[in-house]
Amino acid sequence: MSRISPRMTPLAVALVAGVLLVACDKTTTTTATPSGTATTTTVSPSPSATATMDSASSAATSAMTSASSAMGRAGDAIADSAVTAKVKTALLADDNVKGLQIDVDTSNGVVTLNGTADTQANMSKAQTIAQGIDGVKSVENRLTVKP
């Protein structure tokens, strides 16, 4: 994505303002007064300029909404990655669970455990460990016990 440098911003604003002024209607009124004549010039946006400004405003609002939504999704992905890392670290720290045999995935705070455990007790312990991690909403335990 390209950026406009801070020095180019005034130029961009001036260019947009110039384009919009070109699309304006100019009305000049000359009136006679006791002291002479008076000339009044009124500049107002033409219908096409008004439509262009409305369209630009709508596009800017849409872009801000899209950017906000994308930032929210990125924040969720970062939060899920952090939860995954915390769960995996906790599983690796337990001598009985054998965290190297367990894959951990997180989506919207829901942790899924895949892999194998040596015993039913270790399978349950892995789930208990995952549930105790901050940010975990629930755990889907898909572990199987080795035969």
Q: For residue range 8-56, what is the model confidence (pLDDT) as tens digits? A: 555 556 556 655 555 555 566 666 666 766 767 666 666 766 776 677 6
Rounded to whole angstroms, the Cα distance separating 26 from 101 reads 77
CATH of domain 71-145: 3.30.1340.30
Q: What digits encode the pLDDT tens for the residues 77-130?
A: 788 899 999 999 999 999 999 999 999 999 999 999 999 999 999 999 999 999
d(CA 140, CA 112): 5
Domain edges within the chain: 71-145
Predicted model pTM: 0.54
